[in-house]
Copies of this chain bind each other. A is one copy, B any other.
């Protein structure tokens, strides 16, 4: 292998690829893992079997860039009623998950060098999307009302896009307040900017009041709404969606076609049926009390064993805690891992000066494992 072996600047800038930790093993509190043992595999596989046995020749062909009409309609109906998203099926793109929705949005909305707001701390794979695109990442602090719009305006008033997860922020779990939502929409309108709403983890809420999407509040069609079936169904399904302002639909289709033509048929048809026949709603109803109990046990155990206050427990499948007196949450997570507990260091979610803390997923940690794992974590907190 002789000669220059140059890759693109964007490829060179991406962080190293490492084999994901969950590929090696799953411990208590691993992030982003739903309770897969409770997924109704037999119902799902019955639908998969039905659509793969009786597949019309037409469904073996290429599809269009948008995805299967039946699935787009089922998703539009679900998002209108459950998430207050204002859309019809014509605005819905079937994608392979939130990640492709974010990447597609970045490619349609951002030029290289453009400033884009991200939440600080925030979701690491949003950073990757922007690095892959050569954009200027503007870290905007998140407080207990969500993204601080005034701080963002001060840092980069002319950002082209704001990436936010207003329903359940990653990693802090904050729900963005109503006034901040209006402030953000107002900024976007005045700046001529776009908002990419990453609604990745809002299906499970544990307090009384449901929180509608930011997209539903928007009167200027400035929000691209994205979501995924990875958390309610299962991650290897690789199905998600983007809901796009009507005047952007055609450009999103052109870009999506250039990226990978169209989504696969095999999973779309059973997914449409799973939604339309009520299996999805039923599975949500069944899982909510399971996750609610795990969350309660986790929050109680942390209060008892560690004495720390937990944030972000109103929704989703993870909680966070600040540990400002901890010297290194990375070391702490490594000590916990030695004890079989797979917590994530909060500092890893910061682009700038980090706070120390931990993020704990409770999706796939059984009830009986929670208190013992928190005790092990408490041991890990005291350095040897």
Task: Spell out A's residues near B (CB within 8 Å).
Answer: 1-12, 14-17, 19-20, 22-23, 26, 32-33, 36-37, 39, 41-42, 44-45, 48-49, 52-53, 55, 57, 59-65, 95-97, 99-100, 103, 107-112, 114, 125, 128-129, 131-132, 134, 160, 189-190, 192, 220-222, 230, 234-239, 245, 247-248, 250-251, 253-255, 257-267
Across the interface, name the chain B residue whose C-beta is closest to A60. Answer: B234
Chain B residues, Cβ within 8 Å of A112: 112, 134
Q: Is the Cβ of A100 less than 8 Å from the Cβ of B260?
A: yes
Q: Report, nearest first, the 4 A-B pairs whose CB atoms are least far apart.
A: A4-B192, A238-B264, A236-B265, A60-B234
**Known interface pairs A23-B64, A190-B3, A192-B6; A131-B260 also in contact (CB < 8 Å):** no
- Beyond the given A95-B260, A100-B259, please list 17 additional residue pairs across the A-B interface where CB-CB is below 8 A: A3-B189, A3-B190, A3-B220, A7-B251, A8-B107, A10-B111, A12-B251, A16-B250, A37-B57, A49-B49, A61-B235, A62-B230, A100-B260, A125-B261, A236-B264, A237-B265, A239-B264
B245 touches A1 (CB 8 A): yes
Closest to A15 in B: B254
> Which residues of B sit under 8 angstroms from A5, Cβ to Cβ?
192, 247-248
Do B61 and A36 touch (CB < 8 A)? Answer: yes
Per a CB cutoff under 8 Å, which of B17, B41, B125, B189 touches A55?
Answer: B41
Given A107-B132, A259-B99, A61:B238 Cβ within 8 A = no
Of the listed residues A4, A8, A263, the one surrounded by the most CB atoms of chain B closer than 10 A to its CB is A8
Say whether, besides A189-B3, A259-B99, A49 and B60 are in contact (CB < 8 Å).
Answer: no
Q: Find out whether the CB atom of B20 lies under 8 angstroms from the CB atom of A64.
A: yes
Identical subunits present: 2
Take A8-B108, A251-B12 as given contacts and tell me if A49 and B57 are in contact as well, using a CB distance cutoff of 8 Å.
no
Q: Are A109 and B7 in contact (CB under 8 A)?
A: yes
Find chain B residues with CB under 8 A from A44 CB: 52
Name the B residues within 8 Å of A160 (CB-CB): 6
Give A65 to B20 CA distance when docked, in angstroms. 9
Q: Is the CB of A39 within 8 A of B14?
A: no
Residue of B nearest to A250 (CB): B17
Task: Check if B41 sits within 8 Å of A53, measured CB to CB.
Answer: yes
The residue from B26, B59, B248, B261 contacting A99, defined by CB atoms under 8 A apart:
B261
Residues of B within 8 A of A26 (CB): 61
Q: In the complex, which of the residues B49, B62, B236 contacts A61, with contact meaning CB atoms closer than 8 Å? A: B236
* A36 and B57 within 8 A (CB): yes
Give the CA-CA distance A260 to B226 in the complex, in Å.
13
In the complex, chain B residues whose CB is within 8 Å of the CB of A108: 7-8, 11
- Can you name the residue of chain B whose Cβ is closest to the Cβ of A13? B254
Q: Which residue of B lies closest to A261 (CB)?
A: B99
> Once the chains bind, are A53 and B45 in contact (CB under 8 Å)?
yes
Roughly how many angstroms separate A261 CA and B267 CA in the complex, as a whole number? Answer: 17
A247 CA / B17 CA spacing, docked (Å) = 13
Shortest Cβ distance from residue A184 to the other chain B in the assembled complex, whole angstroms: 14
Q: Is the CB of A61 within 8 A of B254?
A: no
B236 touches A260 (CB 8 A): no
With a cutoff of 8 Å between Cβ atoms, the chain B residues found around residue A39 in the complex are: 60
Bound-complex Cα distance A268 to B193 (A)? 39
Residues of chain B with a CB closer than 8 A to A19's CB: 64
Expressed in whole angstroms, the Cα–Cα distance for A59 and B238 within the complex equals 12
Instruction: Give the distance in Å from the alpha carbon of A235 to the alpha carbon of B266 in the complex.
Output: 11
Q: Among B14, B61, B96, B190, point to the contact of A255 (Cβ < 8 A).
A: B14
A237 to B60, CA, bound (A): 7
Residue of B nearest to A101 (CB): B260
Please indicate the chain B residues that have their CB under 8 angstroms from the CB of A234 in the complex.
60-61
